Amino acid sequence: MKTKILILLSFMLSFFSAFAETIVLKSGKTIEATILERTNESIKIDVAGIPVTYYLEDIQSIGNEKIGLPADIPTDILTGIPAGISAELPGLAQNPPLIKDKKDFSYTKRGIPGPFHKTYNLHNEKGLKCLENNDYQCAISEFETAIKLIPTESVCYINLGLTYKKMGNHQEAIKFLEKAISCDPEDSEIYYNLGNVYFELLRDKEAAMRYYLKAIEKDQSNAKAYLHLGVVYLELGQYASGKENIEKAKKIFEQRGDTNGAYFAEQNLKTIPR
């Protein structure tokens, strides 16, 4: 039973991880993710180990390929929004968003007001590109440079933590993710990623559970936290609790229309002894 659960979770976390692309949605959201499948209407990508489908009509660009925009329209380096437009569109900040995502994250954060925000964003983006190329020292250098500019912002502490996690350095990963919490204690995803460090690198299930529970406390719609918490419960033989949390994850995925997330939740449910 434990072997089946571990194999399934490992598959979810690493499937096709070698071919990451930068995907910019028309909303301005930027995602670094692996493309699992592409059709004439949609793409399926790997987000934090869970396949998610986006329709092409909602996508602005995939890598260097522009979707729905003429090739000669210049775009902002970070947002993918046509240059000069962001200040004119209702609801869009003038500042480009901070990209908080590599693989473990799937959302962006608005730019920080002030004289250093553009430089901060640029170093963060460069760090993510280094990370995509597995150039960890380059990534560390870029994130540290950004932190020196704005030491009270959580974004690059998070990305430093995720870089060290990729390197297998749990001590540094934990240190920087905890610093991120001190900057932004309400961010559910930081706790979720700390849970992943304890679960994946240290195999400390009790600590992982605490952080997944904290992630859920901060955001009761964090389906990934419910799913991973459920998997930990299954490994501990607490099948009722495992089932309860995985079913919650499945329900949230279904409410979002995320059929792939719901599918993986269902596959985990099938491993539970009857």
**pLDDT tens, position by position, 47-63:** 666 666 766 767 878 88
DSSP secondary structure string for all residues of 128-183: HHHHHTT-HHHHHHHHHHHHHH-TT-SHHHHHHHHHHHHTT-HHHHHHHHHHHHHH
**Per-residue pLDDT band at 196 (split at 50, 70, 90):** very high
The pLDDT tens digits for 5-62 are 544 554 444 433 444 678 877 666 677 778 887 876 677 777 666 666 766 767 878 8
**Residue 24 β-bridge partners:** 30, 61
What value does the mean pLDDT take over residues 64-84?
Answer: 40
Q: What is the pLDDT of residue 28?
A: 62
What residues are paired with 43 via a beta bridge? 38, 54
State pTM to two decimals.
0.61
129-167 residues labelled b (16+ CB within 10 A) or e (exposed)? ebbeeeeeebbbebbebbbebbeebbbbbbbbbbbbbbe
- pLDDT value at residue 27: 60
Q: pLDDT tens-digit profile of 111-121?
A: 445 556 788 88
Strand partners, 22: 32
| Domains, in order of start, for the chain | 1-95 (2.30.30.100)
Q: Which two tokens stand for residue 159?
A: 């990305």
pLDDT digits over 211-269, tens only? 999 999 999 999 999 999 999 999 999 999 999 999 999 999 999 898 888 888 998 89
